[in-house]
Structure 1
């Protein structure tokens, strides 16, 4: 992979984060979090949590205790998980494969071999049924290689995982790893780009986009809107 392609991946990642993650977080997650109907409020705990967080249990404190975990935790993680396939297709524009069941093809910058790669998001993003599907796709590539007398070895069919570490791999990935290589996080990006620290460059690039964002006023508006509903219902 040349420098232009590597730079394009960085730029694709930044643009994706701006348009798909940040904007959705502001327009979608915060909007939903301002409505009391979005919460399963535990009447035995909401005043306790408000006091725990702010030292009092007025409506705004209750709203703050409800809103912050929602928009800083579960909401953004769910949103990212739902959009990860879009992220993958955005990052790897121009590296697609015409081989059935293969997402991208690239020359491994470490061993110099052409890799046939199924892309996955993170270390826990497949289920039991996915194992057979992935293995069957790789077996299909092997059969194609035999039919067309192509030099494709078992180690040339890989699962590339965009983020995470080997120690975090789920048991499903480990089952695949018994037959085909799994490359995750830093190792995957090193093989793809030839740069050992590209994974961290990518993380830093997305971090630069985060510095562009100050949505504190949106958070406060969300809390105040929810507080009005709480005050009306529980006053």
Structure 2
């Protein structure tokens, strides 16, 4: 039995298309706004020297690649799974803080509160405590409606092993195939997501690569001007002083 109502495929495809647009738009905007001075203030110059990096392009490739790797997972998680889950459930965005979908099943007199997350490793102790507080606050809506209440954390990908040890939780955690199946009632929906994406990603690749290459060339130029000597070699003392000096 599905948590959500019957979904419409065109709404799911629409949600994925918007997610792709938002993901690439946000990532490109961040890449376009990179500043080598701000970047090098946060980096470890001793590490680059220890790795015997001797040219500006090598350092820039390292920092740019690391930036994209650290940014894209967060951006994608924020842009993709929540709107997709809303469309797949046939429901609406929840008004309660920290809850993404609220679904009322009149047949069983149950209100489902679903918090959608990207992967199973997103929580630390503090964020999990906040999520529990949000579920507690949302449960008051069910009490007012005199309905059974079920809280769920749904992860868009991965697997979540439930051991059953420790204090019983006020919520369930389900991930990947299990989450999408429970949301839609279709065991293979997690595979359908890839099919629904179609060739949408390819529509943005050229713009992304153009932005990346421009940023790479710009950052190499900025690094060379700021941190290289007249002969083109890296001025390590100047870089370390900029990063760690007074």
TM-score scaled to structure 1, two decimals? Answer: 0.70
SS where residue 174 of structure 2 aligns? Answer: strand
Aligned-partner Cα distance in 2 for 1:189–1:89: 13
Are the equivalent residues in 2 in contact too, given 1:107–1:115 (CA < 8 A)? yes
Are the equivalent residues in 1 in contact too, given 2:23–2:75 (CA < 8 A)? yes
Q: 1:198 to 1:42 in 2, by over 3 A?
A: same
1:152-195 CA-to-partner distances (Å, cap 9, x unmatched) read 3x5xx1314141344368x9xx9896334333332221122221
What runs of 5+ residues in structure 1 fail to find an aligned partner? Answer: 52-56
User: Which residue pairs with 1:161 in the alignment?
Assistant: 154
Q: 1:222 to 1:34 in 2, by over 3 A?
A: farther
Aligned-partner Cα distance in 1 for 2:167–2:138: 12
TM-score scaled to structure 2, two decimals? Answer: 0.67
Q: 1:185 to 1:90 in 2, by over 3 A?
A: closer
Aligned-partner Cα distance in 1 for 2:52–2:56: 9
SS where residue 95 of structure 1 aligns? Answer: coil
The answer to whether residue 174 in structure 2 is matched with residue 183 in structure 1 is yes
What runs of 5+ residues in structure 2 fail to find an aligned partner? Answer: 230-246
Give, in angstroms, the shift of residue 142 of structure 1.
4.6
User: Which residue pairs with 2:190 in the alignment?
Assistant: 199
CA root-mean-square deviation: 3.6
Are the equivalent residues in 2 in contact too, given 1:32–1:38 (CA < 8 A)? no
Which structure shows the bigger proportion of residues in helix conformation? Answer: 1
User: Which residue pairs with 2:225 in the alignment?
Assistant: 232
Aligned-partner Cα distance in 2 for 1:97–1:88: 9
Q: 1:205 to 1:180 in 2, by over 3 A?
A: same
User: Which residue pairs with 1:144 in the alignment?
Assistant: 144
